[in-house]
């Protein structure tokens, strides 16, 4: 009887999971495996899109492709800048939202709003905010007397990068503050009491209690954000299209151009593979720290 139930349970189990596994295989596994395979072929307009085996040719070309390295550099800058800014800001907001004050519910609602809105439309809003003639950023800076003529934010490579970083920080900080807020709420209050009795300043108790106990959430937020920022597409595509002069072109935008504009499928596949491997590497490093922080956190309590 027990065996029969177990067997039935197992059958049901597979029956329940197989649709999900099939969909995941179709949309995640197939494209990645396919990219690995295609990356060894030349499939582009030079050969009428008929695959021709090319060995490691695409990878060799990538090594010499100045634009690829430039986009990788841009991606790194964007990722590091946004994730670290978001972490600091998200922590601050989470600390505020963890306080009790009148209207906290509404403020919490407002604080997740940016995360929920469509990135492409938000990118339009930020393009308008950074407009060189009528943009509100220039207007405020002019009113404050910090500049004397409007700055062409999206027209200069460095300023454009700063602009897209600001827009992304605005858009995704709420995600981090939600995760961190959940972590804060799980920290027992008596830990702070003990600290206060020992005469610790707020900063000390933040360093000694909050931060260590929050480490797992911080690393998880970091992990998610690293992966997302590394693959950033919609925000930059709408705000600058990668310009000016490739100043904000990230790897994602380069992959998209290579495939959809140049129809260079083999090379595009190689770019996908390398991006995938880089991402795996970043995630592996972050996971390593996640595990360590989890151990440390469980040791601390």
> Looking only at residues 196 through 235 of this chain, which bind another protein when binding is defined by CB under 8 A?
196, 202-203, 205-206, 210, 216-217, 220-221, 223-224, 227-228, 230-234
Cβ distance 153 to 135 under 8 Å?
yes
Helix (H, G, I), strand (E, B) or coil at 197: helix
| Residue among 212, 215, 249, 211 nearest 233 (CA) | 249
Between 17 and 84, name the residue whose CB sits nearer to another protein. Answer: 17
Site for another protein contains 299 (CB under 8 A): no
Site for another protein contains 133 (CB under 8 A): yes
Site for another protein contains 16 (CB under 8 A): yes
Site string for another protein, 180-199 (x = CB under 8 A): -xxx-----x--xx--x---
Shortest reach from residue 174's CB to another protein, in Å: 7
Site for another protein contains 268 (CB under 8 A): yes
> At which residue do the structure tokens 């499928």 appear?
265
Looking at the chain, how many residues does it have? 301
Tokens of residue 293, six digits? 């922080």
CA 275 to each of CA 40, 83, 195, 203, 272: distance values in angstroms, whole numbers, following the listed order: 16, 18, 46, 40, 5
Rounded (5°) CA angle 262-266-267? 65
Site string for another protein, 57-96 (x = CB under 8 A): x---x--xxxx------------------------xx-xx
The 10 Å Cβ neighbour count of residue 96 is 15
Q: Tell which positions 101-130 bind another protein, by CB under 8 A.
A: 101, 105, 107-114, 116-129
Site for another protein contains 256 (CB under 8 A): yes
Shortest reach from residue 27's CB to another protein, in Å: 3
Helix (H, G, I), strand (E, B) or coil at 245: coil
How many chain residues touch another protein (CB under 8 A)?
134
| Residue among 93, 66, 59 nearest 254 (CA) | 66
Shortest reach from residue 92's CB to another protein, in Å: 7
DSSP 8-state secondary structure symbol assigned to residue 155: G
Q: Tell which positions 138-167 bind another protein, by CB under 8 A.
A: 139, 142-143, 155
Between 82 and 275, name the residue whose CB sits nearer to another protein. Answer: 275
């Amino acid at each position: 009887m027990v065996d029969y139930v177990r067997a039935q349970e197992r059958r049901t189990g597979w029956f329940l999971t197989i649709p999900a596994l099939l969909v995941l295989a179709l949309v995640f596994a197939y494209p990645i495996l396919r990219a690995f395979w295609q990356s060894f072929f030349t499939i582009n307009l030079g050969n009428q899109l008929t695959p021709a085996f090319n060995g490691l040719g695409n990878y060799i070309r990538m090594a010499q492709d100045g634009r690829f390295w430039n986009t990788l550099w841009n991606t790194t800058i964007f990722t590091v800048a946004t994730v670290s800014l978001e972490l600091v800001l998200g922590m601050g907001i989470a600390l505020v939202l963890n306080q009790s004050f009148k209207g906290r519910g509404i403020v919490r609602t407002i604080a997740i709003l940016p995360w929920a809105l469509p990135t492409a439309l938000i990118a339009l809003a930020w393009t308008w905010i950074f407009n060189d003639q009528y943009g509100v950023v220039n207007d405020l800076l002019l009113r404050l007397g910090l500049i004397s003529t409007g700055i062409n934010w999206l027209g200069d490579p460095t300023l454009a990068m700063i602009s897209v970083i600001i827009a992304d920080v605005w858009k995704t900080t709420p995600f981090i503050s939600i995760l961190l807020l959940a972590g804060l709420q799980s920290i027992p209050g008596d830990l702070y009491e003990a600290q206060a009795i020992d005469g610790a300043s707020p900063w000390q108790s933040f360093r000694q209690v909050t931060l260590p106990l929050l480490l797992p959430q911080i690393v998880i937020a970091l992990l998610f954000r690293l992966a997302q920022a590394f693959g950033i597409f919609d925000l930059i595509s709408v705000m600058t299209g990668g310009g000016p002069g490739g100043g904000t072109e990230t790897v994602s935008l380069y992959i998209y151009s290579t495939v959809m504009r140049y129809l260079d499928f083999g090379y595009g596949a190689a770019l996908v593979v390398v991006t995938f491997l880089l991402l795996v590497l970043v995630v592996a490093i972050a996971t390593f720290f996640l595990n360590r922080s989890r151990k440390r956190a469980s040791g601390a309590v």
